[in-house]
Structure 1
Amino acid sequence: MKVKAYTINSFAKTSLGGNGAGVVLDADYLSDEEMQKIAAVLGFSETAFVLNSNLADFKVRFFTPSEEVDLCGHATIGTFFTMGTLGYIKPGNYLQETKAGILGVEIKEDQSIMMSQPLPVFFETIDKSEIADSLNIEIANIHEDLPVQIVSTGLRDIIVPIKNLDVLYSIKPDFKKIFEISRRYSAVGYHVFSLETINFSTACCRNFAPLFGIPEESATGTSNGALGCYLYKYGKINFGQTSNIIIEQGYAMKKPSEIFVSLAVEGEKITGVKVGGRALNLSSIEIDIE
């Protein structure tokens, strides 16, 4: 059976940047096994499959090369950019049914995409020495005023604050240790960041998720939603900055990416989370699966 899929670079800052995703439209006829095979053949960190929904405008399922996950930010951006570019949908607001809930997606006139994420949940903090060891850095290189903490806006991420940009770029992770720690804490992986940046952004980050077969990811939607909430909770962004959080990612991989985060805040409480960006390099491919 031949299946048409699309490939797209989400959150791309330049034509060489962003995070590649696969998109399969009109996927209702595919079995779970076939979706998994397609995701494995495409080899992206996530591939999105668009189906009919009785609860929202679309149902979207997300598969890594090895398993299904509840939500993927960059694949959502890629999916709605693809549908908009191909004329399936026009600029406006839509709802997608995911395993993380029914979430809003906005397509703007400039074809940038903003997606709603679940409200943040702040889980346990983790001993910094354990994390430093797995990153092959000294514990002194982890920010002394900020915790290592699991935060979720749909997926559990271990947020790791690093003192400066030089240390962030020098990290050579022990992926076996990160795999074991991520599994122990039921987390997707590490989202490691510095408040020092390249382009006067809010933060610069790297993302390691070997538990899901992703040594490093160049742009991560859900993790940066969690990071934005973390930065607000710990006073690193103020009320006036919550609608314009800009995160750099992928520079260590020579894949420059830019992720926008917007928080709705009432008092000290976060009442809404949106993550978005732009996409480039849409193309199609035909896959033959047995």
Structure 2
Amino acid sequence: MSALPPLGLIAGNGMLPYRIIETLRGSARPVFTVGISGEVDDGFADDMHAWIGLGQLQRARDLMQQEGVREVVIVGGVQRPNLATLDLDEGGAWVVERALSKAQRGDNAVLSLVLDYFEAQGFEIVSAAELLSPATPLQGLLTDTDMAPHRQDMARAVEIARHIGALDIGQGAIVARGIVLGVESVEGTDAMLARIGELSDEVRGTQAARAGVLAKVPKPQQDRRIDLPALGPQTVEGAAQAGLAGIVFEADGVLFEALDACIARANREGLFLFGLTTEDL
């Protein structure tokens, strides 16, 4: 029996929760997993020890306290709910009442309150980035395709992404030939890429003549213990289908769902992946 208390993991959608489970599976640190109903991918459902509704933070607290959890990581996406109609327990109501009192109700504002709630209950918040540190640095060019012809679009996309992040709108933007084609909001990156793919070839790139860059960066004011930008093979595929030339991201501010698969997919499609340092931003 492990002498270490279990790490609490509150899981949303995507592969990142499972990556943490796999990372810790062979270690001395046990994990107590709490899945958000309707969010956890079906293939990972058997890895969950308990389930909560999106507005059931008190239930999550009670379950984790019963298991002796002291540290919590919250990872994975969720579909943005209507806060006014969300089914809430006392913990969820604590967050939502405070969120609805704010003029700005973006993801960062709400998620910061979620962290405040769990910290008020005596838990220490652990960043997913601490548990998923890449084996190799993410700075610079990770792929075979040259990004030099697209530096201006890279810089402009990062600038736009940081501006919308400061307004708590989203974490991503797409620029092609100096034109802003899209900014990420509640629909998420995949839906934004699909929308760009429906634009005229006159303004976006094509698979034969790629143009445009997706930038993914954290919001300047966000608490990096939660909701860091995530990139996965589906992101690379979406960028490829939209005719983009590449993806740029903050090297220390992104979580890859499957880095090797992303690099391999990008190389097959002729896209670049480029990690910026904080000095580059």
Normalising by structure 2, we get a TM-score of 0.26
Normalising by structure 1, we get a TM-score of 0.25
Which of 1 and 2 has higher RCO (CA within 8 Å, sep 6+)? Answer: 1
When you count helix as a share of all residues, which structure comes out higher? 2
